[in-house]
Structure 1
Amino acid sequence: MLPPRRVPLGESTFVRRLLPSLGRRMVGAWCFVDHYGPDDIADQPGMQVPPHPHIGLQTVSWLHDGEVLHRDSLGSLQTVRPRELGLMTAGRAIAHSEESPREHARFLHGAQLWVALPDAHRSTDPAFEHHGDLPVVTGPGFSGTVILGEVDGAVSPGTVFSPLVGADVTLADGADVRLPVEPDFEYAVLTMSGVTEVDGVRAEPGSMVYLGCGRRELRLRADGTSGLVLLGGEPFEEKLVMWWNFVGRSGEEIRRAREDWTAGERFGVVHGYHGPPIPAPALPDVPLKPRGRVR
C-alpha cells in the first residue's frame, strides 16, 4: 500500500499525492499520481492552476466527475470531461494551465498522472492530444476504458513512448474479477471510489496498491460498486531527476529549465488565462542527483 500525502494544487484544490511515495518513485514509466475529490465546488471556483512549465514528461488528465479546461503554449484550448483523455507531451518544453470552467458541474473528481519520457524521446516536440472516444473492454462484472496502451486487444489512440498501460475499471457490486496482465509489467491500482480488494489487500478511495512483476492475472473484488485506475508498465531503468514540474537527467538540466522559465524563455506563453504564471520555487541547497525508481 502506497501512503498518500495531502498537498495543495493551485489556489483552491487539495490533492492526495500517491506517487512518488516513500519506498517507490515509479510504476513502469508512471512517475506521478495525484488523486483529488470528489469535491463539491458548486459555489467555488474549483480547480485553478495558473500557467506552469514542464519538460521530459507527459501529463494525463483523467476525470470521473466535472470538467477541466486545458490551455497550453501551443495554443491548445480544450475542455476535458469524464472518461476523456487529455494527453500533453511536454518533450523539450511546454507550459499549460488547468482550470474549472466558469460554468461547471457541482462535483470535481479525478486524477492527474505523469509519464516519464525515456531518454531517446525526452526532447521530442511538445504536443497535446484529446481523445473523447476511447476503447472499452467488458466482462462479467466489470468494464474498462483504455486510457493508454493496450488491454485485451483494445488499444488507446494516445501516443506512448515506452511499454505501459493505463485503464479505468468499473466493478459491479460484489464483482470478483480476474484481469489478464503482462508478467513483464509492474502494476499499481488506484481506488477512485468504493472499496476494493486488490489481490487480497483492502483498498479504500484515495489509496493505491503496488503490485510487482511476474503475474499473469490480477484479482479484484468489489465491496459495492467501485471505480479504479490500473497503471502498469515495464520497469523504468533510467535514473531521473524529478524536481517541481520538471523531469530531467541531471541537476544542471533542471537548473537551466528553471532559469528559462523565470526569464520567460523557451516555454512559450499560455494565452487566455486570467492571472500570472506560477513562479519557480528556489532550488534546494543540496545537489539534485539522478535517482532510480525505488527509494
Structure 2
Amino acid sequence: MSNLERPATLSVCGGRGFVAAEPVRELLSPRRVKLGESTEVRRLLPNLGRRMVGAWAFVDHYGPDDIADEPGMQVPPHPHMGLQTVSWLHEGEVLHRDSLGSLQTVRPRELGLMTSGRAISHSEESPRPHARLLHGAQLWVALPDGHRNVEPRFEHHSALPTVIAPGLTATVILGELDGSSSPGTTYSPLVGADLALSAGAAAALPLEPDFEYAVLAMSGEASADGVPLEPGSMLYLGCGRTELPLRARSDAGLMLLGGEPFEEEIVMWWNFVGRSHEEIAQARSDWMSGTRFGEVHGYDGGRLPAPELPPVPLKPRGRVR
C-alpha cells in the first residue's frame, strides 16, 4: 500500500540508541490518514514517539469499513524500494497487481508479501464485485543494507502455520514463533503473527528476549501484559521478555510484531526506504521519468505522482523524535 499523504513527511529511523532494553508498556495512539476517496487508515508506525519495531517500519490499520456501496480500496500504481510490503486481512479482499506481472487476490488470513528490493511498482484495489466489509493491516519491513537491492518478487501464501493454546490461535505471518516458521521470505530476524483470542481466554505467548515487540489491536476487547487495548491502538513492549500474558474479555484479534532491533539508520520518505537524501531524490526522479520501477498493467487509472521533496536535505537521525 502506498503512503498517499501530500506533502509526504520524512521519517528517520533505525539504530539501537533508542531501543528499550528492558520491558516497557508504551501505548501508541494512531494518526488518521486518508487513502483515496473512501478509505481511512490509522497509522501506528512511524509514530511521534516510536518509528520502528525491529525491522517493522510502517503499520496502517484500516476498517472494519462498510464498502458495500463504495469502491473500497483504490490505490493507483506507485513505486517502492528498499522494503517489503505485508498485506494482511481480517475481512474483504484486495487485488494486487505489480510491474512483475503479478495478479493476485489476497483474502483473509492469507499472506501477500512483496519484496521491492531495488525497485518495483504496484496497485491495490477492492475487486469488483467485492465483499461488504474491509478490515486489515498494511505493514512495511525495512530491508537491511546487504539485501535492499535484491531482485523484486511477490509471494502469496494461502496456508500458514499456527500455534494453538487454549483460547488462542496464533497464525505465523512472517518469521518464527514457538517453533513454527512462516514460508514468507525474510531478510532479518523478526516475527509477525495474527492472534485470535476467544472470549475469556488467558494465555502466555513465548517471546525472544533479544527481540523488541509491539502488539497491534485489531478488534474486540483484550489486554497485553495487563494493558487494555482499544482496536486501532498499539502497545510497544521493549526487549527482555520471555513471554507475553494475554487476556480477552470478548473474541478479539491482535497482531504481534517483533524482531531484533534494526541496527542501521534509514531514511523513509513517501514509499521509499533508503540511506541518503541523494538516493531518495534519484528514486523520485526515476519514478517521475518512468524509468526503473516498471509498469503496472490492467489498473483502470493513472499512476500516482510523487510529492515534492522537502526543501532541506533528508538525513537519518534515529528511532524516536
TM-score normalised by the chain length of structure 1: 0.99
- Does 1:288 pair with 2:314? yes
Aligned residue identity for 2:206 = P
In the TM superposition, what are the counterparts of 1:120-269 in structure 2 within 5 Å?
120-269=146-295
Question: Residue 280 of structure 2 aligns to a residue in which SS?
Answer: helix
Identity, % of aligned positions: 76
Aligned residue identity for 2:84 = Q
Shift of 1:148: 0.2
Question: Residue 149 of structure 1 aligns to a residue in which SS?
Answer: strand
Asked if the contact 1:63/1:109 (under 8 Å) is kept, the reply is yes
Counterparts of 1:11 and 1:95, CA distance in 2: 21
1:41-69 CA distance string (max 9 Å, x none)? 00110000000000000000000000000
Instruction: State the partner residue of 1:78.
Output: 104
Asked if the contact 1:56/1:248 (under 8 Å) is kept, the reply is yes
Shift of 1:290: 1.1
Aligned residue identity for 1:163 = P
Among candidates 302, 306, 317, match of residue 276 of structure 1: 302
Instruction: State the partner residue of 1:40.
Output: 66
Flag structure 2 segments of 5+ consecutive residues without an equivalent. Answer: 1-26
Aligned residue identity for 1:249 = R
Flag structure 1 segments of 5+ consecutive residues without an equivalent. Answer: none
Aligned residue identity for 2:199 = D
1:269-293 CA distance string (max 9 Å, x none)? 0000010010000001121101322
Asked if the contact 1:10/1:50 (under 8 Å) is kept, the reply is no
Instruction: State the partner residue of 2:88.
Output: 62
Aligned residue identity for 1:167 = A
Asked if the contact 1:237/1:292 (under 8 Å) is kept, the reply is no
1:173-215 CA distance string (max 9 Å, x none)? 0111111000000000000001211111110100100000001
Aligned residue identity for 1:234 = E
Instruction: State the partner residue of 2:115.
Output: 89
Higher RCO (C-alpha under 8 Å, 6+ residues apart): 2
What is the number of equivalent residue pairs in this alignment? 295
Among candidates 77, 93, 101, match of residue 51 of structure 1: 77
Shift of 1:240: 0.5
The CA RMSD over aligned residues, in Å, is 0.7
1:121-179 CA distance string (max 9 Å, x none)? 00010000000000111011100110000111111000000000000001110111111
